[in-house]
Amino acid sequence: MVFSWQGGPGSRSQLLLLLLLAFWEAGSGQVHYSVREEAKHGTFVGRIAQDLGLELAELVPRRFRVASKERGDLLEVNLQNGILFVNSRIDREELCGRSLECSLHLEVIVDRPLQVFHVEVEVRDINDNPPVFLEKEQKLFVPESRMLDSHIPLEGAWDADIGVNSLLTYRLSYSDYFTLEVNSKDQENKQVELVLKKSLDREEATEHNLILMATDEGKPELTGTMQLLITVQDVNDNAPVFQQSEYEVKILENSDNGTIVIRLNASDPDEGANGDVLYSFNRLVPPMITSQFSINPDTGEIQIRKKLDFEKVNIYKIRIDASDNGNPPMVGHCTIMVKVLDVNDNIPQISWTSMSVPIREDAPLGTVIALISVSDRDSGANGQVTCSLSPAALRCSAPPSQGACAAGKPVLVCSSAVGSWSYSQQRRQRVCSGEGPPKADLMAFSPSLPPGPGSVDSLGDFHASLDSSGKVGD
């Protein structure tokens, strides 16, 4: 990056470099702490000043401060004793959802000389959420002609905790007619079903009321319940059956509206209206899903209704009903797991961590003028960024051990002995791009120079200056 200013006719060209009068000193390694969620205000986290090798007496004079990419009010540092403590309520589920790993990433910055340290605080889960059913009661219609050992799918429970705190076991209140069967592909994906063990007789009993209980494996255990209201009916004794009970579909997040996600097919062995099948979303499917997808009741085609966004939701679990036209109707069920695949649709975001102006024109080469952080919301290679500066009178540098130009890492902008100090125009440009099909962002470094004849402040034609790798062309 070059800043130049040309005076009037006959006057000599002058160059004023706006650089920070401090030397960059990287923090020695990364400090790790851990704290459990819901810890009380004032809970001790760590002796951060001591662990970073800083004296208590220098914290205030050197402007010790903490920056966080997450909520900045959760943790605080006592500048009198150098202790990091809990400042406000930490809810792990609110902060990280159901992610297995949850950490707060802090940047500790001190001046004179400038130092930046990276501190990671792991948030540990506690069993503070009981299993929850979507509804307090589920109504089931079972014909009296239903065959023994028939399976009736039930809605399972959901636990907001993670790990062992989210693993559920199910129990059913006593019944002469029904037992409970739980099938699972893994610990967190269980199919809960009622099994008919005794023939139903509508004239003997028209309804059966049962309680389904879900208990997690946390300490202490927490339990949620749902009431099952079973109505016995004696007509239309075959429900539509899907070819599979579970489907998995993958689709790109940039797929057009109207794109067919899947075409379902359910068959019903009954004749006439009792064998005609209509498809619909299960009544417990939330509005977030029904507004995102549509289903054709006659063909079973599920289509995209509005634009997908991998960064917001990357997986949808959709329960589909296939009902016949009998009286009363019989219903079959299947579950569709729609996995959204990421595309490179987010531009890297640039933020300032530190920058100071003005600077003496005789500042030595390598003097730090700016500290920049870059992040990209995409995943995988699409979220890896590279940084470059153009023109080449300034350079971007950081030791390889610090992960130079990686997402979320600081970038140093330094002077270098490139080019002449006499120019008739000034131009500055910054480009950061992802590793996938490149998307880029620009940031101008504004100088504190008086305007001179021929001085230009322009980013130029950005797209024209990018080559296929996302670098700035000549």
Mean pLDDT, rounded, of the chain: 76
Domain total of the chain: 4
Share of the chain above pLDDT 70, in %: 71
Classify residue 290 by its DSSP letter.
H
- If asked whether residues 79 and 161 sit together in one domain, one would say no
**Would you call 400 helix, strand, or coil by DSSP?**
helix
Could you tell me which of 253, 258, 169 has the C-alpha nearest to residue 216?
A: 169
* Phi, then psi, of 38 in degrees rounded to 5: 65, 15
Domain boundary, last residue among 284, 317, 345:
345
**133-142, 188-197, 424-433: segment of lowest average pLDDT:** 424-433
pLDDT at 188: 66
Residue 351 lies in a domain: no
| Per-residue CA distances from 238 to 125, 269, 274, 275, 324 (Å) | 46, 7, 8, 8, 9
- If asked whether residues 368 and 473 sit together in one domain, one would say yes
Task: Identify residue 3 by its one-letter amino acid code.
Answer: F
- If asked whether residues 411 and 298 sit together in one domain, one would say no
Res 198 pLDDT > 70: yes
**34-48, 304-318, 351-365: segment of lowest average pLDDT:** 351-365
Residue 350 lies in a domain: no
Q: Which of 31-45, 181-195, 378-392 has the highest mean pLDDT?
A: 31-45
- If asked whether residues 143 and 253 sit together in one domain, one would say no
Q: Residue 269 contacts by C-beta under 8 Å, 6 or more apart in sequence?
A: 238, 275
- If asked whether residues 262 and 339 sit together in one domain, one would say yes
Residue 67 structural domain: 22-126
Q: What is the pLDDT of residues 67-104, one digit of tens each?
A: 887 677 889 899 999 999 988 888 888 888 777 788 88
Domain boundary, last residue among 186, 214, 234:
234
Whether residue 414 contacts residue 368, with contact meaning beta carbons closer than 8 Å, is answered with yes
Angle at Cα 281 formed by Cα 279 and Cα 285, nearest 5°? 170
- Please state, in angstroms and rounded to a whole number, the distance separating the CA atoms of residues 92 and 122: 10
- Which CATH number is 95's domain given? 2.60.40.60
- Please state, in angstroms and rounded to a whole number, the distance separating the CA atoms of residues 114 and 19: 13
Q: What is the CB neighbour count within 10 angstroms for residue 138?
A: 17
pTM of the complete model beyond 0.85: no
Domain boundary, last residue among 126, 156, 174:
126
